[in-house]
Amino acid sequence: MSVAMNKDELSEYLAQVFPQVHKDFVVEELTEDSITMRLVVEERHLRPGGTVSGPSMFGLADVCVYAMILSRKGRQSLAVTTSSSMDFLRKPEGAADMIAQCRLLKLGRSLAVGDVLIFSEGADSPVARASMTYSLPPAGSAAAAFG
């Protein structure tokens, strides 16, 4: 195994490709097969009652697996989400950032799969669990990655 981008290179690249949302997400730690990312929770991520919205947690899980693929395959790589599943386990703390711990379970020729546990920062029990599958089109392919 080898890494195509380290933590700083990955952070910089995410800022380029997601100019609208990159400030929401911070890469906390990166290894060959895991990543920890933070969602900096702002008013716009909240739902009435002060909990973090489902779409915000979906976006966090999704960006984790995408970032893992980039860090291994490099910045020219194409990847699109094809399947996902999430379980919402507990009420998140609206006042706390969310911390996502992602494992890369598979990085194949055409598919990558990661799973994610999401925590309210400082809490021991996970708020949500997710798994995400990405389709990886051949490099240089003009084809959409949707298979």
Helix (H) or strand (E) holding 68: helix 54-73
Q: Rounded to the nearest 5 degrees, what angle is found at the Cα of 63, between the Cα atoms of 101 and 31?
A: 45
Q: In degrees to the nearest 10, what's the CA dihedral of 80, 86, 90, 93?
A: 10
| Cα 85 from chain centre | 13
Q: Is 123 in the site for its own copies (CB under 8 A)?
A: no
CB of 112 to its own copies, least distance (A): 8
Contact by Cβ (8 Å): 37, 4: no
Token pair listed for 137? 């089109």
Which part of the chain contacts its own copies (CB under 8 A), choosing from 7-15, 67-75, 93-101, 136-144? Answer: 136-144
CB of 6 to its own copies, least distance (A): 23
CB of 12 to its own copies, least distance (A): 16
CB of 101 to its own copies, least distance (A): 12
Token pair listed for 83? 């399947």
Which part of the chain contacts its own copies (CB under 8 A), choosing from 4-12, 42-50, 67-75, 94-102? Answer: 42-50
The interface mask with its own copies, positions 78-117, x = CB under 8 A, is --xxxxxxxxxxxx-------------xx-xxxx-x-x-x
Q: Rounded to the nearest 5 degrees, what angle is found at the Cα of 20, between the Cα atoms of 14 and 24?
A: 70
Which part of the chain contacts its own copies (CB under 8 A), choosing from 6-14, 16-24, 67-75, 94-102? Answer: 16-24
25 strand-pairing partners:
39
Chain residues that interact with its own copies, rule: CB under 8 A: 17-20, 44, 47-48, 53-56, 58-59, 62, 80-91, 105-106, 108-111, 113, 115, 117, 125-126, 129, 131, 133, 135-136, 143-144, 146-147
